[in-house]
């Protein structure tokens, strides 16, 4: 379905990504119900049929979040792991079988018979995409799979909820944008703090000048360990786990439990460490507050506080992060490790505001006058989403953009990727956010893309 609220494709158009996002933000506001023909060919009602692709750690939030929605129906789950431990906590036993059981038990409670067997389980996501009755997919896979799964889902006519960080590389994000727009799909980036009222309040305070002219922003992230040390040994692949499929487009590597499941995020082949983990959230909040969606800083530079795992350890991402960036308007962006948890701080000429995961109840501010100020009806008010999953379903039904569309997820993820590149190269890098290229640095530009292992390709 063509979204008439969005700019048309035109190779001669001067529209920038930020123009597109501005138009999309106005399209977000009023969802309407469309005919059932918009959904899968076999959809019996106005309910959206959903498949969960990836039944690991994040599915513990995403799957229940979708199950609770009255106008969505989870009809399939998919994971290369049948069932095992080894996730974020020892008590977590996850995979496609536990996910299927959770779905069937949830819906069984809503039937008179107390029985339900309507959720299917798959090991290959391509089998899910082949089903005509599935309208949308939730991609909760390791980062190195996000682009491939998203592009193939769009080609199959599915809408996509893709977990943050949206991509593994800048190039992957670009391919995701192309696929979403070419096939007229909805994509919601799983940066759920855009649907948090405290975050929205903080961003509105900044947008309406309550802290004066913004001078500096700080993306606060967690630290991580080094993983198994020198001499770590290859482990046998667990029964029921398709490790080759898990690797997918990533390079071949010996199996170790700390390479997969939750801890994939500490390997550069699959993710970007805490920079793209908690940093994807805090950076996204900053982008929203500064009205920088669709663009980003023009300069990146590593700082002395970076700590990498010692040689020979399994993990390859920074244990402690410290990089600096600068926007074209002069605002300084700092991303650094700071305990006890992630947050976003914005400093201006008249004070500061901060969101902290350890204080989800209210905005922290340099004064009560800032914290308690009333934002008038004629001032800037950001789009309201109280539930990130419901916002996605509303967009699927209305064909209007969600609160974090693909271009927004891409610009946030790109900042994280560029910061990682600056830390790895240990030098200052100049960036063109329109061309999405480093200026005068071929080595850095080669790091914007990763080769895919055969036979995988976009």
C-alpha span between 300 and 433 (Å, rounded): 12
Strands in 72-78's sheet, in edge-to-edge order, are 120-122, 72-78, 48-53, 136-139, 159-163, 187-190
Residue 444 clears pLDDT 70, i.e. is over it: yes
Instruction: Examine the pLDDT at 183 and tell me if it is beyond 70.
Output: yes
What confidence tens digit (pLDDT) does each residue in 83-97 have?
A: 998 888 888 889 999
According to the model, what pLDDT value does residue 3 have? 40
Q: Is the pLDDT of residue 148 over 80?
A: yes
**Domain hosting residue 152, numbered range:** 44-193
Tokens of 283: 């950076």
Mean pLDDT rounded to a whole number for the chain: 91
Domain C-terminal end among 162, 193, 224 = 193
Instruction: For residue 364, give the CATH number of its domain.
Output: 3.30.360.10
219 lies in the same domain as 368: yes
- Asked if 163 and 303 sit in the same domain, the reply is no
pLDDT at 112: 84
Strand partners, 216: 332, 347
Closest C-alpha to 242, from 90, 101, 94, 79: 79
- pLDDT in the model for residue 24: 52
In terms of Cβ atoms closer than 10 Å to its own Cβ (0-12, 13-18, 19+), residue 234 is: exposed
Q: What is the pLDDT of residues 298-312, one digit of tens each?
A: 999 999 999 999 999
Residue 138 has pLDDT above 80, yes or no: yes
Using CA atoms, how far apart are residues 408 and 225, in angstroms rounded to an integer?
30
In this prediction, residue 40 carries a pLDDT of: 43
315 vs 14, higher pLDDT: 315
Residue 217 counted as domain residue: yes
Token pair in block for residue 109: 């409670």
**Range 7-31 average pLDDT:** 47
Residue 157 maps to a domain? yes
pLDDT at 356 over 60: yes
In a domain, 26, yes or no: no
Number of domains making up the chain: 2
5 assigned to some structural domain: no
Rounded CA-CA distance 348/214 in Å is 4
| Last residue of one domain, picked from the residues 193, 220, 243 | 193
Q: Are residues 360 and 217 in the same domain?
A: yes
For the record, the structure tokens of 406 come out as 């693909």
Q: Are residues 364 and 228 in the same domain?
A: yes
Residue 72: closest CA among 392, 405, 406: 392
Distances (CA, A) of 226 to 88, 172, 248, 315, 443: 16, 27, 24, 5, 26
């Amino acid at each position: 379905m063509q979204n008439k609220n969005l700019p048309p494709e035109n190779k001669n158009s001067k529209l920038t990504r930020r123009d597109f996002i501005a138009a999309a933000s106005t399209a977000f506001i009023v969802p309407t119900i469309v005919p059932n023909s918009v959904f899968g060919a076999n959809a019996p009602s106005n309910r959206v049929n959903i498949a969960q692709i990836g039944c690991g750690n994040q599915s513990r939030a995403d799957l229940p979040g979708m199950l609770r929605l009255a106008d969505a129906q989870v009809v399939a789950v998919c994971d290369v792991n049948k069932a095992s431990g080894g996730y974020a906590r020892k008590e977590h036993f996850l995979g496609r079988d536990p996910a299927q059981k959770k779905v069937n038990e949830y819906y069984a409670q809503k039937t008179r018979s107390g029985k339900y067997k309507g959720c299917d389980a798959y090991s290959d996501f391509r089998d899910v995409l082949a089903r005509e009755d599935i309208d949308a997919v939730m991609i909760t896979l390791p980062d190195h799979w996000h682009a491939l799964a998203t592009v193939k889902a769009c080609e199959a006519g599915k809408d996509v909820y893709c977990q943050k960080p949206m991509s593994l590389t800048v190039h992957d994000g670009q391919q995701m944008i192309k696929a979403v727009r070419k096939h007229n799909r909805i994509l919601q980036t799983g940066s759920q703090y855009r649907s948090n009222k405290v975050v929205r309040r903080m961003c509105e305070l900044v947008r309406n000048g309550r802290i004066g002219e913004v001078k500096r922003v700080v993306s606060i992230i967690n630290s991580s360990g080094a993983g198994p040390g020198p001499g770590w040994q290859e482990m046998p692949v667990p029964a029921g786990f398709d490790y080759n499929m898990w690797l997918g487009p990533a390079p071949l590597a010996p199996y170790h439990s700390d390479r997969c499941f939750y801890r994939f995020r500490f390997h550069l082949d699959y993710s970007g460490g805490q920079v793209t983990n908690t940093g994807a959230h805090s950076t996204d909040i900053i982008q929203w507050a500064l009205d920088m969606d669709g663009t980003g800083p023009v300069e990146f530079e590593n700082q002395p506080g970076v700590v990498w795992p010692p040689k020979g350890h399994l993990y390859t991402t920074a244990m402690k992060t410290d990089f600096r960036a600068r926007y074209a308007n002069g605002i300084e962006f700092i991303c650094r490790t700071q305990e006890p948890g992630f947050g976003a701080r914005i400093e201006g000429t008249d004070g500061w505001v901060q969101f902290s995961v350890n204080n989800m109840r209210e905005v922290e501010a340099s004064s009560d006058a800032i914290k308690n100020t009333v934002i008038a009806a004629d001032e800037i008010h950001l789009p309201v989403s109280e539930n990130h999953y419901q916002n996605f379903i509303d967009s699927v039904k209305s064909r209007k953009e969600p609160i974090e569309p693909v271009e927004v997820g891409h610009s946030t993820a790109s900042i994280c990727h560029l910061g990682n590149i600056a830390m790895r190269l240990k030098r200052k890098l100049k960036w063109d956010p329109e061309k999405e290229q480093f200026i005068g640095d071929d080595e850095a530009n080669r790091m914007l893309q990763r080769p895919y292992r055969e036979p995988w390709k976009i």
